[in-house]
Amino acid sequence: MAQVDLTVRVGGDSAAGGIVTTGEIVARIAAYSGLEVYTTRTIPAEIKGGHVMFQLRTSEKPVYSQGDDVDMLIAFDQESIDNYYHLIKANGFLIYNSNDGQAPAANGNGVKQYGLPLNELAKKINFTKGRNIVTIGAMVKLFDLPYDKAEEVVRRQLGRKKDLLDQNLLALKTGYAYVEQNIAQESPYHLIPETGIVEEERLVMNGNQALAMGALAGGCRFYAGYPITPASDIMEFLAAEFPQIGGTMIQAEDEIAAINMCLGGSFTGARSMTATSGPGLALMVEALGHATMTEIPLVLVDVQRAGPSTGMPTKVSQGDLRLAIFGGADDSPRIVVAPVSVEDCFYQTVHAFNLAEKYQTPVIFLSDQDMSVRVVTVPPFDLNKVKLEPRLLWDPQSANHGGNGASGGGSGDREYLRYKITESGVSPMSLPGMPGGQYTAEGLEKAESGAPIYTPEAHIRNFEKRARKLANALQDYEAWQMYETFGALDAPVAIVGWGSTIGPVKEAVLRAASEGMPVAVLYPKLLYPLPADHIGKFIAGREHVIVPELNFTGQFGRMIQAQFGREIIPLTCYGGTPLATRDVYAKIKQVYEGMKVNA
C-alpha cells in the first residue's frame, strides 16, 4: 500500500465553537496512532465571532509544512465552502454541514461531496454544542483511524468536564456511525500503516509548549509577563509547572513592569524570562537598554505576529527582526536567537539562557505565531544535550577583588569592581548579600566600580567591552552548531533563511532537486551577532542567493546584502499566512530558468 500524505482543512465560525478543537483532536488521534502530524491555523482576533481555519497534514513519513492544497475540506458553514473549495485537489473530498451550507455544482474535477446534517445529529442526542465532536467521529471513520484511540484522546482532551464527557463520547459515536451507514462502509483514506499502530515513543505538542519546556530545562526559575497573543500560553504553562520545582511566576500589570521584574529577578541570581509579541517588545525597549548597560542576564521571547501596532494578533509574521536587533538608544547590543521548528524551540531556548548567563546580556528569542500554535510530532527531547553554562560570579574569598574574566574576584583591600574591563568582556557579578559585593546597577555610563562616569575614554572602553562579549558568542554559534544546512552544498543556487520558513523550503528543495535544480540551504539560528564568516563562506561563489522570510521589506535579506555587498533574491510573504512550498519551488524554478537564458 502506498504511503499516505493527507492534508485536511477545517473551516467555520468561532461563534459556533470547536473548530480548532476539532482539528487538534483529530491531529492527536493520528499522532497516537503512529502517524506524523503538522498543523496550522488562523483564528479571529475578536473574543467571539469570526472565521476560523485549521489545517492538518498527516503522513507515515515526516512532514515539514502545512501542505499547499487540501485532500479534504471539512466545512461547518457556507463561508468555508466559498473560501476553500477551490483548494481541494482533483478527486478529493468535501464534507460539509448540510444544515448550514450547500455544495457547489460539480465542476469536473472529481471532488466527492458529502453532506452531514451536523445540527440535526447534535440535536438528536440533545447536545447542540457537540457538532464538532460529531464531526470528529465522522473524520475518524473517513480516515480509518482506530476508534479506541479516538475515545482515548477525547477523554484526555475533554475529560476535565466530567459532566459532559459521556455526551462527548456519544457525539463521537454518532458521527462515526453516520458515516459508516450513509457515506462509505469502506473508508476513502486508510491512514494506519500496514504494520499496524506504531508504538515508537513520541511527543505531540506546539511551539509554545516546547519553548516553555526548554525554559525549564535551561534553569528558568522566574517568569514575569503580561498576557498577549500569541505568547500567553507560555505563561500559562509555566504557571502550572513552576510550583512543582520552586519557580515563581508573576502576571504583571503591563509589559514594562514585566521586564523590569525579570531584571530584578536576574539581579538576585535567578534565571529569568519574559515573553511577549511585537507591541510588547516595543514597550520593553528602554528596559532592554538598561539590561545591556547593567550587564544583567535576561531572556526575552518575542512570539512575532503581523503588525505594525496591534496589527493582526492571530496571524504570523517575521517582521520584528530589526526591532529585536537594533531597537534601543544608541548601540544597545544584545544577542538574538531564532529557532527553526517546534522541536528546535526546546534546544534553542536552552541555548538562549546559556548565552544570557555566560555573557551577562539580554537575549531575544524570536519565535512566531505559526510556530507557537503549530502541533507536531517530535521525538522525546535528548536531555543529554542540555548543558547549563554558569554565570561568572564574584568570589569574596579569592585573592583578586576585581577578577580577570576567567574566575571570580576576591576580598583583599581593593573595592569590588563589578564592571572591570576584562579580555572576555565579562566581569564577575556579585549577588545581593555577598559581603563587600555592593555595587550600583543603573543606566548611566559607569566606571569599573559602577560609579557614574562621563569621560570619552571610559565610554569607549565600555563600548568595546560590550562588543567583545558579542564577538565571543560567535564561538558558541560554531561549537553548539546553531545552524542547519542541507541540500546540494555545491549547488550554484543557495537559500539562506531563518526561523519557521525552513519546512516549506525543505520540501521545495527536495522537489527541485528531483527535477535537476539543486539548491544549497543554510539556516543560522543566531541572527545577532550575525555569523558573517559562516554565511560569507556559504554563499561565496554562488550564482544566486534566495532569502525567504515573512515580512514586507525582506529584513534579513537586506542585512545580508548590506554585509556582503552582493545582490540577493528576496522571497517575501507578508499576508499573515505561512510560507507555501509551491512559492519556494516557483522561485527556485524561476532562478534556474533565468540562468539558462543568460548562459
Number of CB atoms found within 10 A of residue 536's CB? 14
* Residue 317 near residue 270 (C-beta atoms within 8 A): no
Paired sense of beta strands 362-368 and 569-572, if any: unpaired
Residues 46, 17, single domain; the answer is: yes
Domain termination site, one of 145, 178, 200: 200
Q: For position 200, what pLDDT does the model report? A: 65
The average pLDDT across 109-125 equals 91
Cis amide prior to 308 (ω within 30 degrees): yes
Only one residue has cell 532569502, namely 547
Continuous segment of H or E residues that includes residue 287: helix 278-294
pLDDT band at 191 (very low <50, low <70, confident <90, very high): confident
DSSP letter at 319 equals T
Residue (of 358, 256, 234, 378) closest to 301 by Cα position: 234
Contacts for 514 with CB less than 8 Å, ≥ 6 apart: none
Q: What is the pLDDT of residue 412?
A: 45
Residue 183 pLDDT grade (very low, low, confident, very high; cuts 50, 70, 90): confident
Listed residues 338, 366, 385: the one ending a domain: 385
pLDDT at res. 30: 86
Question: Range with the lowest mean pLDDT among 93-107, 326-340, 373-387, 538-552?
Answer: 93-107
Q: Name the band, by pLDDT with cuts 50, 70 and 90, for residue 105.
A: confident
- The predicted pLDDT at position 19 comes to 84
Q: Are residues 160 and 234 in the same domain?
A: no
Please indicate, yes or no, whether residues 234 and 349 belong to a single structural domain of this protein. Answer: yes
Q: Does residue 421 lie in a domain region? A: no
The structure's pTM equals 0.93
| 13 sits in which H/E element | strand 5-13
Q: Binning pLDDT at 50, 70 and 90, where does residue 353 land?
A: very high
Identify which has the larger pLDDT, 111 or 47: 111
Q: Is 394 within a domain?
A: no
d(CA 399, CA 267): 24
Residues 158 and 297 occupy one common structural domain: no
- Band of the pLDDT at 340, cuts 50, 70, 90? very high
**Predicted confidence band at 563 (pLDDT cuts at 50, 70, 90)?**
very high
| Domain count of the fold of the chain | 3
- Domain edge (last residue) among 352, 385, 418: 385
- As a whole number of angstroms, the distance between CA 149 and CA 137 comes to 11
Is 163:213 a contact under the CB 8 Å cutoff? no
Which pLDDT score, from 0 to 100, does residue 402 have?
43
Residue 401 lies in a domain: no
Q: Mean of the pLDDT values across residues 54-79?
A: 92
- Comparing 93-102, 205-214, 335-344, which segment has the lowest mean pLDDT? 93-102
Residue 169 lies in a domain: yes
> Can you give the pLDDT at residue 335?
98
Are residues 494 and 556 located together in one domain of the fold? yes
In a domain, 393, yes or no: no
**What is the C-alpha separation between 559 and 536, in angstroms, rounded?**
12
pLDDT of 236 higher than 50: yes
First vs last C-alpha separation in the chain: 44
* Contact of 452 with 445, CB cutoff 8 Å: yes
Which residue range(s) make up the domain with 185? 5-200
368 located within any domain: yes
Q: What is the pLDDT of residue 447?
A: 96
- What's the one-letter identity of residue 33? S
List, for residues 376-424, the tens digit of each pLDDT value.
999 999 999 999 999 999 998 874 444 444 444 444 446 899 999 999 9
128 pLDDT above the threshold of 50: yes
Residue 436 falls within a domain, yes or no?
no
552 in a domain, yes or no?
A: yes
Task: Please check whether residues 381 and 492 belong to one and the same domain.
Answer: no
Q: How confident is the model over 129-154, as pLDDT tens digits? A: 888 899 899 888 888 888 998 999 99
* Mean per-residue pLDDT, 188-197: 61
Q: Are residues 275 and 137 in the same domain?
A: no
pLDDT over 70 for what percent of the chain? 94
Let me know whether 244 and 360 are in one domain.
yes
DSSP characters over 184-209: -SS-S---S-TT-S-----EEEEHHH
| Same-domain check for residues 214 and 173 | no
Residues 311 and 371 placed together within one structural domain of the fold: yes
Cell numbers given for 157: 482532551
Residues 54 and 89 in one domain: yes
**In this predicted structure, what is the pLDDT of residue 303?**
98
- Are residues 112 and 226 located together in one domain of the fold? no
C-alpha cell at 425: 568582556
Q: What is the domain-level CATH number for residue 173?
A: 3.40.920.10
pLDDT tens, residue by residue, 456-496: 999 999 999 999 999 999 999 999 999 999 999 999 999 99
The CATH number linked to 252 is: 3.40.50.970
CATH of the domain at 538: 3.40.50.920
Q: Would you say residue 196 has pLDDT above 60? A: no
